[in-house]
Amino acid sequence: MRLVTNKTPDDSATGWFVRLNSGDVTQSTRQEYEAWLAEDDRNRERFEAVANSMRDLAPLDDWMRTEANRLNARVMARRARRTKGLIGVASAAAAVAAVSVWITTNPAGSYTTEPAEQREISLDDGSRIHLNSASSVAVRYSSDARTVELKSGEGVFDVSRDAQRPFVVAARNAEVVAIGTQFRVWLNGGDVTVTVLEGAVAVFNRPGPGETSVPGSTRSDSEPTLLYANDEITLSNGVMSEVESINASLATAWREGKLIYDATPLRQVVAEMSRYTPIELAVADGVPDHPITGLIQIRSPDAMLRFISNAVPVTPVRASKERIVLHATPPVPE
């Protein structure tokens, strides 16, 4: 089993915490865990601190219950502090599988935004969903799980901790298990992108019905990838990318009415701008994919088009009542 993380020692403890609770804990995994504990005497206390922060979130398997008791005895001897228990990320993923058909066939609690519309949704448990334009989610809460299916578009999820009900976002083949966090999930064409603003999430790659793991993928469907603040990962055609470090606040600047770009190709910028206008925006064939850098205010379509025209040599031409095409601006005669 492979967990992607190369963070601080405290982050490594969280990584082991998720790894040991992701299901199918093998003897090899246990040996690797023991080796990690032996690397630094403080690793036991780091692991115990993570366990305390996630206490009572899910049942333990027999080995993890034994391990919790062993750690508890060692730490109590040193610090007279009590271990509280461990989370089961695998149980959260299983909860998603149990309700996925229900979400598909009876999406009670569905929310949708139109193009140029954003919406903030307050859920019963205090969690919030900020839906971007042209987006849709289906929410299903039960006594033992909180599941949200992102059907289209993009959302930022601000999760309220509930010790008895894991919070999971399902988006195509991706399942994102929240660990007390704020994160973004974006369905961009055939890709699923997950970005963490605060806290941490565990991302699973789950093949759909009749699908198998894609050749070339470095992770099986049972292996979680742990993301922390300012980490981002993309699942494309069943293959999960490596973790990238980004400025997450820039990726979610749309919540403040802004789009921020750094050498982003023109067509990508225009495609995103189209989500915030009542008309379709397009780039004419033959126009170079100029890099765009700068900040765009999304409240005014006219202002967005002026920005693009000032940034690169293109001219907006209205092709119809509902469509504007950017054409190359002819060079000024010398």
pLDDT tens digit sequence for 98-129: 333 233 333 458 999 998 889 999 998 899 99
- What pLDDT sits at residue 108? 52
Q: Do 269 and 235 share a structural domain?
A: no
Mean pLDDT confidence for 61-87: 43
End-to-end CA distance of the chain: 65
pLDDT band at 208, cuts 50/70/90?
A: low
What mean pLDDT is reported for the chain?
A: 76
- Cα 119 to Cα 51, 186, 206: the distances in Å are 35, 15, 28
Final residue in a domain of this structure, among 79, 102, 131: 79
Distance CA 36, CA 293 (A): 44
- Max Cα-Cα span within the chain: 84
Q: Do 160 and 61 share a structural domain?
A: no
Distance CA 90, CA 21 (A): 6
Q: Do 112 and 174 share a structural domain?
A: yes
What is the tens place of the pLDDT at every residue in 15-68? Answer: 676 666 544 567 777 788 888 888 888 888 777 766 654 443 343 344 444 444
Distance CA 162, CA 180 (A): 9
CATH of the domain at 322: 3.55.50.30
What is the tens place of the pLDDT at every residue in 262-290? Answer: 889 999 999 999 888 888 999 999 999 99
Map residue 132 onto helix, strand or coil.
coil
Map residue 307 onto helix, strand or coil.
helix
CA 60 from centroid of its chain's CA atoms: 26
- What pLDDT sits at residue 97? 38
Beta strand extents in the chain (DSSP E only): 110-112, 119-122, 128-131, 136-141, 146-152, 154-158, 167-171, 174-188, 191-205, 225-228, 231-236, 239-240, 244-245, 258-265, 280-283, 291-297, 314-320, 323-328
Mean pLDDT confidence for 82-88: 34
| Residue 62 falls inside a structural domain | yes
pLDDT band at 83, cuts 50/70/90?
A: very low
What residue spans of the chain are helical by DSSP H? 9-19, 27-39, 42-53, 62-79, 89-105, 248-251, 266-273, 301-311
- What pLDDT sits at residue 282? 95
% of the chain residues with pLDDT over 70: 69
Distance CA 138, CA 149 (A): 5
Mean pLDDT confidence for 316-334: 88
What is the tens place of the pLDDT at every residue in 158-175? Answer: 999 887 788 999 999 899
Distance CA 263, CA 293 (A): 5
pLDDT band at 202, cuts 50/70/90?
A: very high
- What pLDDT sits at residue 193? 96
- Cα 32 to Cα 39, 222, 282: the distances in Å are 11, 18, 53
- What pLDDT sits at residue 1? 31
Distance CA 102, CA 155 (A): 21
For residue 265, give the nearest of 273, 277, 276, 253 by alpha carbon. Answer: 273
- Cα 73 to Cα 33, 67, 82, 259: the distances in Å are 18, 10, 8, 52
Q: Do 212 and 241 share a structural domain?
A: yes
- Cα 290 to Cα 148, 219, 260, 267, 270: the distances in Å are 37, 35, 16, 8, 11
Q: Do 120 and 191 share a structural domain?
A: yes
Give the domain range for residue 270: 257-328
| Residue 3 falls inside a structural domain | no
Q: Do 105 and 238 share a structural domain?
A: yes
Q: Do 245 and 189 share a structural domain?
A: yes
Max mean pLDDT among 9-18, 219-228, 296-305 falls in: 296-305
Mean pLDDT confidence for 77-87: 37
- What pLDDT sits at residue 303? 86
Domain count, the chain: 3
| Residue 333 falls inside a structural domain | no
- What pLDDT sits at residue 300? 80
| Residue 270 falls inside a structural domain | yes
Final residue in a domain of this structure, among 22, 46, 79: 79
Sole residue written with tokens 């009415």: 257
- What pLDDT sits at residue 139? 95
Mean pLDDT confidence for 130-157: 94
Contact residues for 290 (Cβ-Cβ < 8 A; gap 6+): 265, 266, 311, 312, 313, 314
- What pLDDT sits at residue 44? 82
Contact residues for 238 (Cβ-Cβ < 8 A; gap 6+): 173, 205, 207, 211, 213, 214, 217
Q: Do 202 and 101 share a structural domain?
A: yes
* Residue 120 burial class via C-beta count within 10 angstroms: exposed 0-12, middle 13-18, buried 19 and up: exposed
Q: Are strands 146-152 and 167-171 parallel, antiparallel or unpaired?
A: parallel
**Cα angle, residue 265 at apex, residues 173 and 260 outer, rounded to 5°:** 80
Q: Which of 76-80, 131-135, 167-171, 268-272 has the lowest mean pLDDT?
A: 76-80
Question: Which H or E element spans position 83?
Answer: none
Token pair in block for residue 134: 């042209």
